[in-house]
């Protein structure tokens, strides 16, 4: 099994650093081509973990490696480029820009990456088609259902063909049916080769869609069935 992301002894403290760290000496591996679920109680460090892997934030200590690149060695500019080219992000509350149409929301990361407008448009339309929301291309987020909004967010996340798709509670704000539609979509993407790291509170979603589960408690790995972690025998 190939490893896409590796964390070695990663600690994250916020603010002044007093008190318990949000992540406490976490080591784990995210396997290539799988759906890996992160579970754990509120405050256990799941979003913090995603932010470090996505290069949105940096660890206090320890090393995050993706595709053999140590993220801590990248300066701000290189880290931003890494993020734009390699990472797709999906959030619980969609985080769409309300004053842009569905299509224009999808095109944002392509524009940031400097993709020519015509090529970006082609890709945007192709994705809206693929995700079953072609009819919604020129609607604004307020005119879309929750499930449609999240599908727009999925299209936006994958418009630049990221190596890694990070999803933080992508079904958390959706009813069961819309949640299943979004998860089926993510499963389709995974079948086409997309590596996905998925935070979920829902054990049924983890069981149905994930190959492995990493459980965090109080900022530490309590359980890891993602299958790629090699525990050193002391
Ligand atoms: N920006 C921040 N500044 C200070 N503390 C933070 C910050 N973000 C998170 N924390 C703290 O770090 C810990 C882990 O937070 P995190 O958001 O990673 O948890 P989580 O597992 O994603 O929780 P939830 O399931 O509620 O989303 C919590 O104690 C939280 O209060
Ligand atoms: Mg969270």
Closest residue CA from atom 28 of ligand 1 = 43
For residues 173-200, give the mean pLDDT: 94
Candidate from 14, 171, 200 with most ligand 1 atoms within 8 A of CB, to mutate: 14
Closest residue CA from atom 29 of ligand 1 = 43
Residues with CB under 5 A from ligand 2 (ion): 46-47
Q: In what order do the strands lie in the sheet with 87-90?
A: 87-90, 164-168, 195-199, 35-39, 212-217, 220-224
DSSP character at residue 19: S
Q: What's the pTM?
A: 0.93
Quickly name the fold that domain 3-93+159-224 has. Answer: Rossmann fold (3.40.50)
pLDDT tens digits for range 78-116:
999 999 899 999 999 899 999 999 999 999 999 998 999
How many angstroms separate the CA atoms of 172 and 149, rounded?
13
DSSP, collapsed to helix, strand or coil, labels residue 8 as strand
Q: What are the CA-CA distances from residue 222 to residues 20, 61, 101, 182, 218 (Å)?
A: 16, 20, 42, 28, 9
Question: How do the domains of the chain map onto residue ranges?
Answer: 3-93+159-224
- 22 CB under 6 A from ligand 1? yes
- 200 CB under 6 A from ligand 1? no
């Amino acid at each position: 099994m190939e490893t896409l992301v590796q964390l070695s002894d990663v600690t994250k403290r916020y603010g002044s650093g007093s008190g318990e760290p949000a992540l406490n000496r976490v080591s784990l591996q995210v396997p290539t081509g799988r759906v890996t679920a992160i579970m754990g109680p509120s405050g256990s460090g799941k979003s913090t973990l995603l932010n470090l892997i996505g290069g949105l934030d940096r660890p206090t200590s320890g090393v995050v490696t993706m595709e053999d690149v140590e993220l801590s060695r990248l300066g701000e500019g290189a880290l931003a480029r890494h993020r734009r080219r390699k990472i797709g992000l999906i959030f619980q509350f969609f985080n769409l820009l309300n004053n842009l149409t569905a299509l224009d929301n999808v095109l944002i990361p392509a524009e940031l990456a400097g993709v020519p407008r015509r090529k970006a448009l082609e890709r945007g339309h192709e994705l809206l088609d693929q995700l079953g929301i072609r009819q919604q291309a020129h609607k604004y987020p307020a005119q879309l259902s929750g499930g449609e909004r999240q599908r727009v967010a999925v299209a936006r996340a994958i418009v630049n063909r990221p190596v890694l798709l990070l999803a933080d509670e992508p079904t958390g704000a959706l009813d069961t049916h819309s949640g299943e539609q979004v998860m089926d979509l993510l499963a389709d993407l995974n079948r086409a080769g997309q590596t996905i790291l998925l935070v979920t509170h829902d054990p049924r979603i983890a069981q149905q869609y994930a190959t492995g589960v990493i459980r965090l408690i109080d900022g530490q790995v309590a359980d890891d069935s993602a299958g790629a972690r090699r525990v050193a025998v002391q």
